[in-house]
Amino acid sequence: MRLQKSAGRPNGHGRRGSSIIEFSLLLPWYVFLFVGSYDYGFFSYSLIATQTAASVGANYCASNSTTTTDATTACGYALDQLRNMPNVGYSMTSCGSGTTVTSTVPLAVTASSVTGPDGSPAASVTVTYLTPKLIPIPGLLPGQLTISRTVKMPVRG
């Protein structure tokens, strides 16, 4: 079987190296696209999980009117919601106190009694989560974020 030669090219080998050059020019863009979508997906999941943890903690505090400032129990409910997060896992059994989060404690829960907009008693729970270090994207994502979400719910009697 004999291959036809390309017109104007001796031996038909004129485009042999162009695919390698095109691949090497596009590879950094593909890597940037993959890393960006991975980071964006993880940070989006972290935002949703932190909001859900704050909602569950506030729901507990609002349903138990005698323990609206029980941050320990609210912390337990928040931990249950954040068990799938990479730096929380099942080894973490308690949260940091207050809203400051250090690199050793990736989660802090604060619960307090507040007054709602209509003057009725309400429960407020703040969950602060420190994401693990991922790949930083200069100008867009620093690689590690501190996510803080506050949920206020009226106390159910």
Q: In the predicted model, is pLDDT for residue 23 greater than 80? A: yes
Domain of residue 134, residue span: 18-154
Q: Is residue 10 part of a domain?
A: no
Q: Is residue 142 part of a domain?
A: yes
Q: Is residue 1 part of a domain?
A: no
What is the SS3 string spanning the chain? CCCCCCCCCHHHCCCCCHHHHHHHHHHHHHHHHHHHHHHHHHHHHHHHHHHHHHHHHHHHHHHCHHHCCCHHHHHHHHHHHCCCCCCCCCCCCCCEECCCCCCCCCEEEEEEEEECCCCCEEEEEEEEEECCCCCCECCCECCCCEEEEEEEEECCC
Q: Which residue has the tokens 């602060």?
A: 128
Q: Is residue 62 part of a domain?
A: yes
Looking at the chain, the whole-number percentage of residues with pLDDT higher than 90 is 8
Q: Is residue 134 part of a domain?
A: yes
Q: How do residues 136-156 score in pLDDT, each as one tens digit? A: 777 776 777 888 999 988 887
Total count of residues recorded for the chain: 157
Yes or no: say if 74 and 109 are a contact pair by the CB < 8 Å rule: yes
Average pLDDT over the chain reads 78
Q: Is residue 8 part of a domain?
A: no
Task: Tell which wins on pLDDT, 150 or 13.
Answer: 150
The predicted pLDDT at position 16 comes to 66
Which is it for strands 146-154 and 121-130: parallel, antiparallel or unpaired?
A: antiparallel
Q: Which two tokens stand for residue 67?
A: 């323990």
> What's the number of domains the chain is made of?
1
Residue 139: left if φ>0, alpha if ψ -120 to 50, beta else—which one?
A: left
The predicted pLDDT at position 14 comes to 57
Q: Is residue 3 part of a domain?
A: no
Q: Is residue 12 part of a domain?
A: no
